[in-house]
Chain A
């Protein structure tokens, strides 16, 4: 029972009570008693002569959300023209604060922006926009509005009460303002004449990412605004805009916007008469880097050096006196703030672009690309930015494997490689190379201290197994796992798979699919929702928390889509018009490289998203249903990696002081302690204790000194092996363990 504000208590003056009621309504996202809200607005305006901005905001949000196109609330809003934008969002507040000083033409511009209700501007809208822009001056418009756009996506300045079923409104875009935002973005594209400058392109690129960030209960925050920014980037000319489009194409996973991005890039490619992949290659700006990974700027007497090493970007300064310092000298900060800001922004740009390019190169693995030597040198080896990645990869020049070391392309033996301009260059991949060569390259990388931008020499290889030869058209290698759906869904999108989040509803879903147009193929990973207990097996919004995995298959790229009902029941091809179903491709006809890469993705999904990874699930999750799966995952047959681990352990264990207490036995390393005996599983590192095979939970300490989150550590070796060894040493001396979180389990 909340205490009523004094103004709401019976006996308070009517006017005050009305104001307080309207205030309370203003703190809602939408206020569903429309007629009451309309009445409150009318009354308060009658008394005060105007309406508070936040009341207008809630009325506008509500009017936009209702199905009615007219009614008392709409009538009230038709007579309201201030505030121009709804207050409560950082960027809109700034607009409202700036408008009085900006002078004539500006309010009309914002009003015009509010009419941006279509998906694309009409010719008439553009004509009006241009004449309004001419009034305020395009350059001034650009500077002002990029400042406003930078504030979009900040948390609300006027917090609202979140109702029980409301989405996370603190991070939502106000729908009324979102329309203005779209209009302002369109206007920005029209205000820039000629090639876009870096700042404008950067602002628009940032806006796309901000607007697609996911929020609980909403999903991507505002695809409408994101698409407007993509439209603007597409409309703008120049390399910076193109670079943003290419960067976003590797980052965005939201389907609608990704389609716009793809279309924009395809259009550019067509206009230039190039392939899409080539446009993306050419779209990488140098950001002022003059040689591979280095840019030097003179700011007055000081000198700034931007260097790119192994994927990180740093800025160092040299003062007039020649001293090297980490932070910009005071003179620079005082006299050249503009240049300094630009330089710092460039560092951020380079970092983002590096990540996007590493991602793009990783995708080239299946891209079937081959470059003429001269072109490849320019775009991949000697390009100031991409070169920092290209020089850390292994390439095949005319079939000769080589890497970059000591300033030149060299073979494994260190002989320089020369080639004619037309020689074909492709990306090296361990599949189909002999094992000795792969190991030699790994050693080579280690010797030269090269950290690869993505796993290349250490890339896992998946070959067709005997079981798959028997099943012929599908693989059961990753079947019957239980995965956390949301994690799986996110991972799949990042690896370029198409997947739909499965809800517990009466609907059909396609499998997770990766299109491989270069190969004329499509890979499918069949999954189904797990469980049928709404609220236990689903999230609040009805999405399955877990999915069960099944086969991996390959189809010709244009085969009809397979569909399965949300609750399971198997996949079936949806065939139209009397055509027959299209059979899946026999696995032995899938190119080994494709098979290996697709299986690698699926292994990643299972390895990361499986509930078997979660030590807290040893009780089997909800009502213990998954206990058996969890156990078989944690204690079942060994994978190929675990097999090699066993061999290494057999070599290491006899040399340890506890050798007489340990033995490798099948899937386990058995350890004899003084209190109990232990079995450590060689695949998962999970431990079972005698006498009753009770699970013992010991996990690696998340130390403060945890390394960077890089997933691929070429020289780290096998972390799980380290974990198993450490556990064995600990448990062999179980009487000496002092950690109460462990002893309480052992001495129970």
Chain B
């Protein structure tokens, strides 16, 4: 069993509070790593159901605010739906994942997890041609 650090990095160079997740496997596909992160944050949200969802991707029926996504009404968030959204966002470059300062590009790549491994999520901006 290892403790893995998760960090969200913003482009201001500031890093949000890191949080830890216990993981039993020593190797995991990136897809699974993202799923665990999403399930964890959704579970924490649903336990308290605050007005603002702080998480990786925006749930439906919310508006973006400074520090999260404001819910129209306090409600539970569906973890499977959030995970589907996260995968979708990853495939269109909505965010990139760095494991120990190395970008992992494919969802099916197996990631080695050691003690003190740091998984960093970096959000990007969607682009179109002008």
Contacts and interface: CB of A to CB of B under 8 A. Distances in A.
A514 B11 CA distance: 35
B13 A726 contact: no
Interface in B3-30: 10-14
Contact of A715 (B10, B93, B127): B10
B12 A717 contact: yes
Contacts of A745: 129
A707 B64 contact: yes
B11 A725 contact: yes
Interface in B41-97: 58, 63-67, 73, 93, 96
B1 interface: no
Nearest to A649: B11
Contacts of A727: 127
Interface string A714-748: 11111101110111011000000001111111000
A659 B126 CA distance: 20
Interface in B111-130: 122-130
B10 A449 contact: no
B14 A706 contact: no
Contacts of A723: 125, 127
Contacts of B58: 705
Interface residues of A, number: 47
Given A451-B66, A710-B66, A716-B66, A726 B93 contact: yes
Contacts of B32: none
A440 interface: no
B126 A717 contact: no
A446 B8 CA distance: 14
B124 A729 contact: yes
B51 to A, nearest CB: 9
Contact of B14 (A451, A698, A715, A739): A715
B11 A718 contact: yes
Given A648-B11, A715-B14, A656 B103 contact: yes
A708 B127 contact: no
Per DSSP, chain B at the interface is loop
Contacts, number: 111
Contact of A648 (B13, B93, B103, B130): B13
Interface string B99-117: 0011111000000000000
A124 interface: no
B128 A741 contact: yes
Contacts of A451: 66-67
B2 interface: no
Given A648-B11, A707-B65, A729 B129 contact: no
Interface in A640-680: 648, 651-652, 655-659
Nearest to B98: A655
A727 B130 CA distance: 13
A648 B10 CA distance: 11
A715 B67 contact: yes
A326 interface: yes
Contacts of A710: 66
A703 interface: yes
A449 B67 contact: yes
A730 B127 contact: yes
A719 B11 contact: yes
Given A648-B13, A715-B14, 4 more contacts: A707-B64, A708-B63, A722-B125, A725-B11
Interface of B: 10-14, 58, 63-67, 73, 93, 96, 98, 101-105, 122-130
19 contacts: A326-B73, A616-B130, A657-B105, A698-B127, A698-B128, A699-B127, A700-B128, A701-B128, A707-B64, A707-B66, A708-B63, A714-B66, A715-B67, A716-B12, A717-B10, A718-B11, A722-B123, A727-B127, A729-B93
